Structure 1
């Protein structure tokens, strides 16, 4: 009799658990049928790069919130701007402020506590506050004005050299020169091209390998770490190369700070008084007995700094300049504004001048709306169960937001696939748009909410400054045989599949 009661109680408990699970599942956002253990991986025929076109089809079928199962993990994708605002800025802002841990964190011991990936909490706040207040604050950004002027010269020289024969790859020039600038801001030293190239090659090799080859460890890492041992060994070798290049520069900066403190710092045109590394050397972690950052942690944060500021800005420059090539009337209107503001005799379009050019800002905003460098924000992770659009987002689920879809939504934007900077001027459908998303989200190339990109202001400055100077120096035309095509290719950012190779006609002697 006692056994029968135990069996009955067990059956009832099992039934309640099943019913509860079904009730939760009914509230989950819809999505395609999932295969046990594998989830929706079979829908992704080749790699995770296939996920965007799949998602576009799923949004048409299921609505603006859909679910994919990546193995045992739940991933939710949101395409509606109002739901994104409610989740990122509204009541759910703190709940969704965490990040999923990358595969590299446990397996390689790197990447888990940088600003980009750290969970929302004291450690993240300390690192982000340091970056914003000590390096990206306007007073600090102004210190690097000579660096931007130097990089402007390097960029224009690269573009001129590329036009000597066949049209050069503009993206290569953008990427190299933006990397020069970020290396200088990071390490406080103006390096020669061979040194910059070595760091660039090592950083890009690491970034591409981690993004393209390490995703296999996202599923069943206890098993895959044995199956794909070779990939882990290759990743560790790339990491050692990073350390070999970064540690001497960090140590040199530590010595420079010591000399400054003792009043013995040498003066040099290639050494700057401030750098991001300086701030990292001063940080102590209160929650860990006020210990300083380790050398490995500083290298990882430097890598994050270089990556975050290079590819996004160079990708933005590529798309904007491609649109100016295809829209000569827009380019001429922009050039007329530049001439009216700066005249013909100034050596450059100054950083002060770009603040007085509304059409220039409209061109930049339109480029970011139509061609955001990242079509997704970095993924968020729900710290607790939360509600998005009436659906349950369970604790631990990954949540992502479709940046490109929001900026190209025909319900929110007139002629969304047309490049029309005028929309951001007074009276246009984009006038007064809030780039931070605080008041409402219409486009979010820098994200929104607690994890909005810390470099929003400096990124806008760099785009405005370099676009203005390139348009002042050259007329950008389409080159025969290298016509501009807007087909996209996903790398670390979403770049042009066919690289931009323009014909550059000097405007000044």
Structure 2
């Protein structure tokens, strides 16, 4: 019988197949061992983009999180997006793994309109960001600097009171939405630029461009998540609007810089930044685009977020007359009857005023979705595996309605803060309208100072009711889309001098 010859090729092939099978098993096993956060089913190509629902993504994401949990993984196109909807997981992102999630994604609108993300809010985490944040915290928004602009806040608040008094004498309604916007724009305009932007045609163009910027930054552009569909932005006019808005903003900022360069020893935000810009020997020197980007940061942080917070606070007060009466009783009891100006000492004693503002920001955070973060490496969050490159969206609006943190979360109840240490300064993650961790907003002191002063003045000097016979329970509280969420319809109210 002829002996069968076995060539060396056959056992080598078998061995290779066995090794391949074994390696594949190990890989599949390690992949299956990865525990990802709960995730709703996704569609091909677009992923979960269709599930955002309306033009108010914070509401759509909140609805999804109620079904899938406070840590939820979505896919916008092929990009993984982690949605955080509870204080517990917000603390994990902002404290436990803060450096891992300290970076920012680069979206087209941000890159186009904020000088390639060279500002404090959007720049990449690293030495450049640390240098800019140091400038903002120590030189622009320190307590001493914020106090130095108190006269500006007092003068602008007095002008608002004067307009309200004139309207009350004519028995005409006050557009509080417009007044709050004008107040915050003028306070920051004078503090940053040395004059009111509303007083010049150039300034009015800037204010219009800034309103467009806030709207455009709130748009979810499909090209950011599905690059081969980026052409849609060119077809629907989105790209053109970005370019036009960026050019308008840059023209005004450039003219302001040129104007302030002619001044000597100015103490406004732009003057301080110009001193740093001109000092090329300093370690903290900045270039011109960085200078403009920081100005944008200060303006956005001190205007839109302030005006929308005051707008929603007065809306809730008008909806809840008993809360309004309690607040008026506190303010009028602290400030002497013949006293013209509400002092800082007075404001420190107004615990119910602070509670009212906190409660308004819990229900209506000015940025419902905080500025997104980006995972710089693979990380585990409470046992869930998060991949590098995952975008993190923290839904402050949903956190303010979380039953785990809040009793009767849909009820406006400032009393909940009277015996509570919870504050909005970024250390209590149940209430994070300004974010938290190292990427939290540095302008909290500036924002609070203007809000408290004007609101105290308005409830001290006037009694209020809704215009056109609208009952408190019928007040329209619908929201408008954008990065910051304002009322969809202006807040109109009738004022009468306090008796």
Alignment correspondent of 1:149: 154
Q: Which moved more, 1:277-286 or 1:344-353?
A: 277-286
Structure 2 stretches lacking a partner, 5+ long:
1-8
Output the CA distance in 2 between the equivalents of 1:499 and 1:372. Answer: 18
Alignment correspondent of 1:180: 186
The answer to whether 1:70 aligns with 2:73 is no
Output the CA distance in 1 between the equivalents of 2:458 and 2:272. Answer: 33
Aligned residues: 483
Alignment correspondent of 1:189: 195
State the Cα deviation string for residues 171-213 of structure 1 (Å, max 9, x = none).
111112201111222223345534442321121123323433x
Alignment correspondent of 2:421: 432
Question: For 1:286-301, what aligned pairs fall within 5 Å after superposition?
Answer: 292-301=285-294
The answer to whether 1:129 aligns with 2:134 is yes
Output the CA distance in 2 between the equivalents of 1:291 and 1:122. Answer: 10
Alpha carbons 2:156, 2:183 under 8 Å: kept: yes
Q: Which moved more, 1:310-319 or 1:476-485?
A: 476-485
State the Cα deviation string for residues 1-34 of structure 1 (Å, max 9, x = none).
366665665555455444433333xx11111112
Alignment correspondent of 2:250: 243
Q: 1:289 to 1:73 in 2, by over 3 A?
A: farther
Task: Give the Å deviation of 1:414.
Answer: 2.8
Alignment correspondent of 1:389: 382
Alpha carbons 1:284, 1:290 under 8 Å: kept: no
Question: For 1:98-117, what aligned pairs fall within 5 Å after superposition?
Answer: 98-104=103-109, 110-117=115-122
Output the CA distance in 2 between the equivalents of 1:19 and 1:36. Answer: 25
Alpha carbons 1:487, 1:498 under 8 Å: kept: yes
The answer to whether 1:378 aligns with 2:371 is yes
The answer to whether 1:84 aligns with 2:90 is yes
Alpha carbons 1:386, 1:392 under 8 Å: kept: yes
The answer to whether 1:489 aligns with 2:496 is no
Task: Give the Å deviation of 1:357.
Answer: 1.5
Q: 1:129 to 1:51 in 2, by over 3 A?
A: same
Q: 1:37 to 1:240 in 2, by over 3 A?
A: same
Alignment correspondent of 2:6: none
* 3-state SS, counterpart of residue 133 of structure 1: helix
Q: Which moved more, 1:224-233 or 1:117-126?
A: 224-233
* 3-state SS, counterpart of residue 134 of structure 1: helix
Q: TM-score, normalised by structure 1?
A: 0.86
Correspondence for 2:460 among 457, 469, 472: 472
Pair member with larger Rg: 2
Output the CA distance in 2 between the equivalents of 1:156 and 1:119. Answer: 42
Output the CA distance in 1 between the equivalents of 2:228 and 2:404. Answer: 46
Alpha carbons 1:317, 1:467 under 8 Å: kept: yes
The one of the two structures with greater contact order (alpha-carbon pairs below 8 A, sep at least 6) is 2
The answer to whether 1:199 aligns with 2:206 is yes
The answer to whether 1:444 aligns with 2:432 is yes
Structure 1 stretches lacking a partner, 5+ long:
261-272
State the Cα deviation string for residues 232-251 of structure 1 (Å, max 9, x = none).
33322222211221212112
Alignment correspondent of 1:32: 40
* 3-state SS, counterpart of residue 495 of structure 1: coil
State the Cα deviation string for residues 351-381 of structure 1 (Å, max 9, x = none).
3321122222122122122222222221111
Task: Give the Å deviation of 1:124.
Answer: 1.0
Q: Which moved more, 1:460-469 or 1:367-376?
A: 367-376
Q: 1:20 to 1:354 in 2, by over 3 A?
A: same
The answer to whether 1:507 aligns with 2:498 is yes
Output the CA distance in 2 between the equivalents of 1:139 and 1:108. Answer: 31
Output the CA distance in 1 between the equivalents of 2:485 and 2:196. Answer: 29
Alignment correspondent of 1:264: none
* 3-state SS, counterpart of residue 69 of structure 1: strand
Q: Which moved more, 1:448-457 or 1:6-15?
A: 6-15
Task: Give the Å deviation of 1:169.
Answer: 2.6
Alignment correspondent of 1:409: 402
Q: 1:169 to 1:328 in 2, by over 3 A?
A: same
State the Cα deviation string for residues 332-355 of structure 1 (Å, max 9, x = none).
222222222221212222333211
* 3-state SS, counterpart of residue 468 of structure 2: coil
* 3-state SS, counterpart of residue 89 of structure 1: helix
Task: Give the Å deviation of 1:290.
Answer: 5.7
Output the CA distance in 1 between the equivalents of 2:371 and 2:90. Answer: 13
Output the CA distance in 2 between the equivalents of 1:490 and 1:198. Answer: 21
Output the CA distance in 1 between the equivalents of 2:319 and 2:238. Answer: 42
Correspondence for 1:254 among 261, 270, 276: 261
Output the CA distance in 2 between the equivalents of 1:63 and 1:202. Answer: 38
Alignment correspondent of 2:30: 20
* 3-state SS, counterpart of residue 480 of structure 2: strand
Alpha carbons 2:48, 2:75 under 8 Å: kept: yes
* 3-state SS, counterpart of residue 317 of structure 1: helix
Q: TM-score, normalised by structure 2?
A: 0.88
Question: For 1:320-331, what aligned pairs fall within 5 Å after superposition?
Answer: 320-331=313-324
Output the CA distance in 2 between the equivalents of 1:348 and 1:119. Answer: 43
Alignment correspondent of 1:334: 327
CA-atom RMSD, angstroms?
Answer: 2.9
Q: 1:364 to 1:217 in 2, by over 3 A?
A: same
